Structure 1
Amino acid sequence: MTDTSVRQDSPTAPQQSAPEGGDAAPARSLGADARRQLARSPLFWVSAALISVFVLMAIWPSLFTTVSPNESILRESRSLPSSDAWFGRDFQGYDIYSRVIYGARASILVGIFTTTFTVLVGGMIGTLAAYNGGWIDGIISRITDMFFAVPFILGAILFMSALADSFTSYFGVIFKVVLALTIFGWPSLARLMRSSVLTVLPNDYIRATKALGASPWRIIRSHIIPNAMGPMIVVATINLGAYIAAEATLSFLGIGLTPPVVSWGVMINDSIVGLRTTPHMILFPSLFLSLTVLAFIMLGDAVRDAFDPKSR
């Protein structure tokens, strides 16, 4: 009869080796976990694919069409979609498909620039308020409350109306819309950044860095901002689509982007008079606008789920 105990204690028997000292697997950072989560998210890949197409349309419109957006054929005005004009033509005889392609540039530029400026302004002001506290925090909080008292779109309408006769060039009109949306869009991001920084400040590594004599700028740049930017990235991604929709709203009202600038909001404004008789003129720019906003919202949802450990 074989001695089982001897065989189990034999040096040739396979044994499972545990990590020395009980060490666990190497810990991954939040950013690494977020990237792994995004790589497994179908929502992220669908939204990223849509956004890539729209950005490519804005950067290189001639890749999608060789027809000029300002080439007018009046005898074919209001014509239905056909092989010559895939989306039909508008009242001025412009090719709607070509104008939809070229309209992506202005709309996406407004969204990107507004998001960039609101993140920079709101992030800087929110960090300043949370880090210094005291009367500085109090004054900044009251200023943001004053901006919150004015509805976002109403404030942008008033601002655009006050500057109706200025900045008439292509980039001047875009800058005017970006400026209006930035002025009334930064307070929400400033408040978000303030609350995020307040959750980071009590951590031990911040106290240790202060005790070692690091300057406030180094603490903010190297430790606070990298650990407090997660919520800002999520909200900014969603806001980018919202700013594109806000530009379309202002252009639809006739006080946003104006001709000769081509944008989806301008096209919707031009085609509203033919809503019943020629609905195709408003259908296609509205469809592309909705898909763009939806893509950025889906991307924001995917990023939020990736950066939120509670969702996993």
Structure 2
Amino acid sequence: MTDQQQADLRHDEVEAGTQTVLAAPSIDVTNARQNSLWSDAWDSLRRNPLFWIGAVLGLVFVLMALIPQVFARGADPRACNLANSNQKPSAEHWFGFDQQGCDYLANVVYGARNSLIIGLLAVLVVLVLGVLVGAVSGFYGGMIDSVLSRITDIFYALPLILGALVVLRSGTIGRGVVAVAIALAAFGWMTAMRLVRSQVIAVKSSDYVAAARAMGASNRRILLRHILPNAVAPVLVYTTITIGVLIAAEATLTFLGVGLQRPAISWGLQIENGQSLLRTAPHLVLFPSLILTTTVMAFIMMGDALRDALDPRQRA
């Protein structure tokens, strides 16, 4: 065998070895980090009693919205008899009757549906706007970041309740369930945007993002595959807490007379109707207020538990 043949043989062996190394399965660092984060978070949540209390209460209220007839003991919230007007709670009628003589337990139970629909729909719009604007702003930076940040600052200038009140008072979008949810979301997405933007800015300088870019990954793939999954934790915490905040905001708007209108059934409407009868029939304000407070508290407890579980410093 000549020297040239020996050199060619060694070159082929090196190439074969290189191909073997390149063909070896690569480790997805991003997925490994995500799996570790969520695994550790779940271990922490399982040991947190506040999470389970909030989760059980949240599940109860969701079921109440889905199958209200079970929790209302078969009573019809619109079957009224003026002879029962403002009667106090009893063993047969746990929440008593309202001013029109309607079973108040049934009214409070059926009020959960509109409140939860508005809270969940509004937070969904908040997520879409916040994540989209925040991701684009943080990833591209420069002039795009400056323009989107200033638009966000403009919306920050109006408080949530005041902004939604102005929109609903104008009557341009109506005052139904969807209209109230959109009005709340329009002035509630800015914090989610700030959270996503700051996380994207922090994550996009990571080594695995630089490696993905060096391998020729497109901006869209880098953003969706590598950056957003690692920026979602604080947004998830914020979203859980915000559901409770938006439910309370809906009740406030309805109480002020610019939210849901009759014949809709809502906790805010019940509190507004009962305020003039607080001395003679305090149960008309007590029961919807108690259920509203418990619902808001359930989502806030879950959000607090998620925050502690997803923050590595809390597990140290």
Shared fold (TM-score, shorter chain, > 0.5): yes
Q: Distance in 1 between matches of 2:137 and 2:196?
A: 9
Equivalence for 1:17: none
Residue 84 of structure 1: how far off its partner (Å)? 3.1
Equivalence for 1:71: 79
Higher alpha-carbon deviation: 77-86 or 104-113: 77-86
Residue 83 of structure 1: how far off its partner (Å)? 2.7
The answer (yes or no) to whether the contact 2:275–2:285 under 8 Å persists in 1 is yes
Q: Distance in 1 between matches of 2:45 and 2:92?
A: 41
Q: Which one of 89, 94, 101 corresponds to residue 102 of structure 2? A: 94
Q: Which one of 164, 167, 174 corresponds to residue 159 of structure 1? A: 167
Equivalences for residues 222-261 of structure 1 within 5 A: 222-261=225-264
Instruction: Name the % identity.
Output: 46
The TM-score normalised by the length of structure 2 is 0.87
Q: Which one of 16, 34, 45 corresponds to residue 38 of structure 1? A: 45
Corresponding position: 1:145 with 2:126:
no
The TM-score normalised by the length of structure 1 is 0.88
Q: The residue matched to 1:53 in structure 2 has which SS?
A: helix
Residue 245 of structure 1: how far off its partner (Å)? 0.2
Equivalence for 1:5: none
Q: Distance in 1 between matches of 2:152 and 2:240?
A: 21
Task: For structure 1, list consecutive stretches of 5 or more residues without a partner in the other structure.
Answer: 1-25
Q: Distance in 1 between matches of 2:216 and 2:203?
A: 18
Q: The residue matched to 1:29 in structure 2 has which SS?
A: helix
Equivalence for 2:24: none
The answer (yes or no) to whether the contact 2:260–2:266 under 8 Å persists in 1 is yes
Q: Which amino acid aligns with 2:146?
A: G
Q: Distance in 2 between matches of 1:207 and 1:92?
A: 67
Q: Distance in 2 between matches of 1:302 and 1:309?
A: 13
Q: Which one of 285, 288, 293 corresponds to residue 290 of structure 1? A: 293
Q: Which one of 185, 189, 192 corresponds to residue 186 of structure 1? A: 189
Q: The residue matched to 1:306 in structure 2 has which SS?
A: helix
Equivalences for residues 42-121 of structure 1 within 5 A: 42-65=49-72, 66-121=74-129
Q: Distance in 2 between matches of 1:207 and 1:260?
A: 57
Q: Which one of 200, 205, 208 corresponds to residue 208 of structure 2? A: 205
1:122-144 C-alpha deviation (Å, 9 max, x unpaired): 11100000011000000000000
Q: Distance in 2 between matches of 1:60 and 1:217?
A: 42
Residue 167 of structure 1: how far off its partner (Å)? 3.8
Q: Which amino acid aligns with 1:125?
A: V
Q: Distance in 1 between matches of 2:65 and 2:249?
A: 18
1:210-242 C-alpha deviation (Å, 9 max, x unpaired): 111111111111111110000000011001100
Q: Which amino acid aligns with 1:111?
A: G
Task: For structure 2, list consecutive stretches of 5 or more residues without a partner in the other structure.
Answer: 1-31
Q: Which amino acid aligns with 1:48?
A: A
Q: The residue matched to 1:81 in structure 2 has which SS?
A: coil
Q: Distance in 1 between matches of 2:251 and 2:128?
A: 23
Q: Distance in 2 between matches of 1:167 and 1:184?
A: 17
Q: Distance in 2 between matches of 1:198 and 1:58?
A: 39
Q: Which amino acid aligns with 1:266?
A: L
Residue 44 of structure 1: how far off its partner (Å)? 0.7
- Matched length: 282
Q: Distance in 2 between matches of 1:62 and 1:78?
A: 22
